[in-house]
Protein backbone atom coordinates (compact mmCIF):
# COMPACT_ATOMS: atom_id res chain seq x y z
CA UNK A 1 0.00 0.00 0.00
CA UNK A 2 1.18 3.52 -0.69
CA UNK A 3 2.01 5.68 2.31
CA UNK A 4 -0.96 7.54 3.78
CA UNK A 5 -0.51 11.30 3.74
CA UNK A 6 -3.94 12.70 4.64
CA UNK A 7 -5.24 12.05 8.15
CA UNK A 8 -8.16 13.20 10.31
CA UNK A 9 -7.61 15.98 12.83
CA UNK A 10 -6.11 14.94 16.15
CA UNK A 11 -9.25 16.25 17.87
CA UNK A 12 -11.33 13.78 15.85
CA UNK A 13 -9.07 10.89 16.86
CA UNK A 14 -9.38 11.87 20.51
CA UNK A 15 -13.16 12.16 20.23
CA UNK A 16 -13.27 8.71 18.59
CA UNK A 17 -11.22 7.20 21.43
CA UNK A 18 -13.59 8.78 23.95
CA UNK A 19 -16.70 7.52 22.16
CA UNK A 20 -17.88 11.05 21.27
CA UNK A 21 -17.86 10.70 17.47
CA UNK A 22 -20.97 9.69 15.56
CA UNK A 23 -22.33 9.34 12.03
CA UNK A 24 -20.17 9.46 8.96
CA UNK A 25 -17.18 10.76 10.87
CA UNK A 26 -17.16 7.70 13.12
CA UNK A 27 -17.70 5.10 10.38
CA UNK A 28 -15.15 6.45 7.94
CA UNK A 29 -12.65 7.26 10.67
CA UNK A 30 -12.92 3.69 11.99
CA UNK A 31 -12.17 2.40 8.47
CA UNK A 32 -9.23 4.80 8.14
CA UNK A 33 -7.83 3.61 11.48
CA UNK A 34 -7.88 0.02 10.18
CA UNK A 35 -5.80 1.15 7.20
CA UNK A 36 -3.49 3.64 8.95
CA UNK A 37 -0.95 2.49 11.58
CA UNK A 38 -0.12 6.10 12.49
CA UNK A 39 -3.68 7.01 13.50
CA UNK A 40 -4.24 3.58 15.05
CA UNK A 41 -1.25 4.26 17.32
CA UNK A 42 -2.55 7.71 18.27
CA UNK A 43 -5.97 6.30 19.21
CA UNK A 44 -4.36 3.51 21.26
CA UNK A 45 -2.21 6.06 23.10
CA UNK A 46 -5.23 8.20 23.95
CA UNK A 47 -7.21 5.16 25.11
CA UNK A 48 -4.27 4.18 27.33
CA UNK A 49 -4.16 7.71 28.77
CA UNK A 50 -7.88 7.60 29.50
CA UNK A 51 -7.48 4.22 31.18
CA UNK A 52 -4.70 5.52 33.40
CA UNK A 53 -6.75 8.57 34.37
CA UNK A 54 -9.65 6.35 35.42
CA UNK A 55 -7.34 4.00 37.34
CA UNK A 56 -5.78 6.81 39.38
CA UNK A 57 -8.99 8.75 39.94
CA UNK A 58 -9.82 8.79 43.69
CA UNK A 59 -12.96 6.89 44.67
CA UNK A 60 -15.27 7.59 47.55
CA UNK A 61 -15.47 4.56 49.89
CA UNK A 62 -19.01 3.69 48.79
CA UNK A 63 -17.99 3.83 45.10
CA UNK A 64 -14.99 1.60 45.73
CA UNK A 65 -17.11 -0.93 47.61
CA UNK A 66 -19.64 -0.99 44.76
CA UNK A 67 -16.88 -1.48 42.17
CA UNK A 68 -15.36 -4.35 44.16
CA UNK A 69 -18.76 -5.99 44.51
CA UNK A 70 -19.38 -5.69 40.77
CA UNK A 71 -15.96 -7.18 39.99
CA UNK A 72 -16.60 -10.09 42.37
CA UNK A 73 -19.96 -10.76 40.69
CA UNK A 74 -18.36 -10.76 37.22
CA UNK A 75 -15.63 -13.17 38.35
CA UNK A 76 -18.17 -15.51 39.94
CA UNK A 77 -20.13 -15.68 36.69
CA UNK A 78 -17.21 -16.48 34.42
CA UNK A 79 -17.78 -19.81 32.59
CA UNK A 80 -15.85 -22.84 33.83
CA UNK A 81 -15.27 -24.09 30.30
CA UNK A 82 -12.27 -22.84 28.33
CA UNK A 83 -12.90 -19.81 26.19
CA UNK A 84 -13.47 -20.55 22.54
CA UNK A 85 -11.01 -19.31 19.97
CA UNK A 86 -12.02 -15.94 18.51
CA UNK A 87 -14.12 -16.16 15.38
CA UNK A 88 -12.22 -15.07 12.28
CA UNK A 89 -14.50 -12.94 10.14
CA UNK A 90 -14.71 -14.09 6.52
CA UNK A 91 -13.24 -11.68 4.03
CA UNK A 92 -16.03 -9.84 2.23
CA UNK A 93 -15.29 -8.21 -1.09
CA UNK A 94 -17.08 -5.41 -2.86
CA UNK A 95 -17.89 -6.40 -6.42
CA UNK A 96 -18.39 -4.05 -9.35
CA UNK A 97 -18.71 -5.75 -12.73
CA UNK A 98 -15.44 -7.71 -13.14
CA UNK A 99 -13.63 -5.89 -10.33
CA UNK A 100 -13.36 -7.02 -6.71
CA UNK A 101 -12.21 -4.84 -3.83
CA UNK A 102 -11.23 -5.89 -0.31
CA UNK A 103 -12.75 -3.55 2.27
CA UNK A 104 -11.83 -2.65 5.85
CA UNK A 105 -13.76 -4.90 8.23
CA UNK A 106 -15.94 -2.09 9.56
CA UNK A 107 -17.19 -1.40 6.03
CA UNK A 108 -17.43 -5.06 5.04
CA UNK A 109 -19.96 -5.54 7.85
CA UNK A 110 -22.18 -2.95 6.14
CA UNK A 111 -22.37 -4.79 2.81
CA UNK A 112 -25.90 -6.16 3.40
CA UNK A 113 -27.03 -2.50 3.32
CA UNK A 114 -25.43 -1.76 -0.06
CA UNK A 115 -27.75 -0.67 -2.86
CA UNK A 116 -27.30 -1.42 -6.53
CA UNK A 117 -24.64 0.24 -8.64
CA UNK A 118 -25.61 3.04 -11.03
CA UNK A 119 -23.54 4.00 -14.04
CA UNK A 120 -22.98 7.75 -14.32
CA UNK A 121 -21.57 9.77 -17.22
CA UNK A 122 -17.82 10.12 -17.48
CA UNK A 123 -16.70 6.64 -16.38
CA UNK A 124 -18.25 6.80 -12.91
CA UNK A 125 -20.24 4.27 -10.87
CA UNK A 126 -22.08 4.98 -7.64
CA UNK A 127 -23.86 2.84 -5.03
CA UNK A 128 -25.64 4.08 -1.93
CA UNK A 129 -24.87 2.46 1.41
CA UNK A 130 -27.93 2.53 3.66
CA UNK A 131 -25.99 2.58 6.92
CA UNK A 132 -27.05 4.50 10.02
CA UNK A 133 -25.18 7.77 9.94
CA UNK A 134 -26.84 10.37 12.17
CA UNK A 135 -28.22 12.22 9.12
CA UNK A 136 -25.29 11.41 6.81
CA UNK A 137 -25.64 9.66 3.45
CA UNK A 138 -22.98 7.19 2.36
CA UNK A 139 -21.92 6.52 -1.23
CA UNK A 140 -19.35 4.20 -2.77
CA UNK A 141 -17.97 5.90 -5.88
CA UNK A 142 -15.76 4.22 -8.46
CA UNK A 143 -13.89 6.25 -11.05
CA UNK A 144 -12.47 4.52 -14.09
CA UNK A 145 -8.97 5.41 -15.20
CA UNK A 146 -8.84 8.77 -16.99
CA UNK A 147 -12.20 9.97 -15.63
CA UNK A 148 -13.40 12.88 -13.52
CA UNK A 149 -16.22 14.06 -11.29
CA UNK A 150 -17.78 17.37 -12.40
CA UNK A 151 -16.50 20.42 -10.55
CA UNK A 152 -18.50 20.97 -7.38
CA UNK A 153 -18.59 22.49 -3.92
CA UNK A 154 -20.34 21.32 -0.77
CA UNK A 155 -23.46 22.63 0.91
CA UNK A 156 -22.43 20.80 4.06
CA UNK A 157 -19.56 18.50 4.97
CA UNK A 158 -18.08 15.78 2.77
CA UNK A 159 -15.80 13.13 4.25
CA UNK A 160 -14.07 10.80 1.80
CA UNK A 161 -11.87 7.77 2.39
CA UNK A 162 -9.86 6.34 -0.52
CA UNK A 163 -10.17 2.55 -0.55
CA UNK A 164 -8.36 1.63 -3.77
CA UNK A 165 -6.18 3.39 -6.31
CA UNK A 166 -6.08 7.16 -6.16
CA UNK A 167 -7.27 10.47 -7.54
CA UNK A 168 -6.15 14.08 -7.64
CA UNK A 169 -7.75 17.51 -7.51
CA UNK A 170 -6.68 21.12 -7.22
CA UNK A 171 -5.48 20.53 -3.65
CA UNK A 172 -3.26 17.50 -4.19
CA UNK A 173 -3.09 13.74 -4.74
CA UNK A 174 -4.85 11.09 -2.67
CA UNK A 175 -4.06 7.37 -2.38
CA UNK A 176 -5.53 4.36 -0.58
CA UNK A 177 -6.10 5.12 3.09
CA UNK A 178 -6.17 8.90 2.72
CA UNK A 179 -8.91 10.67 4.71
CA UNK A 180 -10.28 13.90 3.19
CA UNK A 181 -12.60 16.41 4.89
CA UNK A 182 -14.18 19.14 2.74
CA UNK A 183 -16.92 21.71 3.19
CA UNK A 184 -18.36 24.80 1.49
CA UNK A 185 -14.95 26.49 1.42
CA UNK A 186 -13.72 23.96 -1.14
CA UNK A 187 -14.47 23.82 -4.86
CA UNK A 188 -12.77 20.95 -6.69
CA UNK A 189 -12.86 18.51 -9.58
CA UNK A 190 -11.53 15.04 -8.67
CA UNK A 191 -9.94 13.11 -11.54
CA UNK A 192 -7.95 9.93 -12.11
CA UNK A 193 -4.84 9.34 -14.18
CA UNK A 194 -4.85 7.33 -17.39
CA UNK A 195 -3.34 4.27 -15.68
CA UNK A 196 -5.22 4.10 -12.35
CA UNK A 197 -8.84 3.73 -11.29
CA UNK A 198 -10.13 4.70 -7.86
CA UNK A 199 -12.70 3.54 -5.30
CA UNK A 200 -13.80 5.80 -2.46
CA UNK A 201 -16.56 5.95 0.13
CA UNK A 202 -17.99 9.38 0.91
CA UNK A 203 -20.25 10.58 3.73
CA UNK A 204 -22.29 13.73 3.08
CA UNK A 205 -24.77 15.60 5.24
CA UNK A 206 -25.98 17.74 2.31
CA UNK A 207 -26.04 17.21 -1.49
CA UNK A 208 -23.16 18.30 -3.69
CA UNK A 209 -23.55 21.54 -5.61
CA UNK A 210 -22.12 21.44 -9.14
CA UNK A 211 -20.51 24.70 -10.20
CA UNK A 212 -19.45 24.52 -13.84
CA UNK A 213 -20.70 23.66 -17.31
CA UNK A 214 -23.64 21.44 -18.06
CA UNK A 215 -23.23 19.65 -14.73
CA UNK A 216 -25.09 22.53 -13.08
CA UNK A 217 -28.36 21.22 -14.51
CA UNK A 218 -27.87 18.19 -12.23
CA UNK A 219 -28.26 20.20 -9.03
CA UNK A 220 -32.05 19.68 -8.72
CA UNK A 221 -31.54 15.94 -9.32
CA UNK A 222 -28.79 15.90 -6.72
CA UNK A 223 -31.28 17.22 -4.17
CA UNK A 224 -33.79 14.49 -5.03
CA UNK A 225 -31.23 11.68 -5.09
CA UNK A 226 -29.92 12.67 -1.67
CA UNK A 227 -33.23 11.98 0.09
One digit per residue, the tens of pLDDT, for the chain of length 227 reads 458 999 999 999 999 999 998 888 899 999 999 999 999 999 999 999 888 777 666 656 656 666 667 667 766 766 666 656 666 666 778 999 889 999 999 999 999 999 999 998 888 899 999 987 667 889 999 999 999 887 767 677 889 999 999 999 888 899 999 999 987 576 778 899 999 999 999 988 777 666 665 444 444 444 434 44
Does residue 111 fall inside a structural domain?
Answer: yes
Could you write out the DSSP letters of every residue in 163-180?
A: EEEEEEETTEEEETT-EE
Q: Which domain holds residue 168?
A: 1-57+103-227
Does residue 122 fall inside a structural domain?
Answer: yes
Sign of CA dihedral 172, 28, 197, 185: negative
Of 130, 154, 127, the C-alpha closest to 142 is 127
Does residue 97 fall inside a structural domain?
Answer: no
Contacts of 50 (CB under 8 A, 6+ apart): 17, 18
Give 96's Cβ-side CA count (13 Å radius): 24
Phi, psi of 94 (to 5 degrees): -90, 125
Does residue 149 fall inside a structural domain?
Answer: yes
Does residue 78 fall inside a structural domain?
Answer: no
Question: Tell me, what CATH number does 127's domain have?
Answer: 2.60.120.10
Cα pseudo-dihedral 181, 182, 185, 186, rounded to 10: 120
Cross-strand bridge partners of residue 71:
none
- First CA to last CA across the chain, in angstroms? 35
Does residue 47 fall inside a structural domain?
Answer: yes
- Residue pair 186/172 in contact (Cβ under 8 Å)? The answer is no
Does residue 166 fall inside a structural domain?
Answer: yes
Q: H or E segment at 106?
A: helix 105-108
Ramachandran area for residue 164 (φ above 0: left; ψ -120 to 50: alpha; else beta): beta
- Give how many domains the chain has, as a whole number: 1
Q: What pTM was estimated for this model as a whole?
A: 0.79
Report the alpha-carbon distance of residue 122 to residue 116 in Å, rounded. Answer: 19
Amino acid sequence: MNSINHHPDTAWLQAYAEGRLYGGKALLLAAHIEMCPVCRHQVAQHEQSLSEQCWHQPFAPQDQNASEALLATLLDNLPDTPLEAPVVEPQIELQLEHRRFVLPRVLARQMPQLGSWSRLPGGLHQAKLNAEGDGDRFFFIHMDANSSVPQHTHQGEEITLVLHGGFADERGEYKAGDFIHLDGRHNHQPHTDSDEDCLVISALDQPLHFTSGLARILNPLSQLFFR
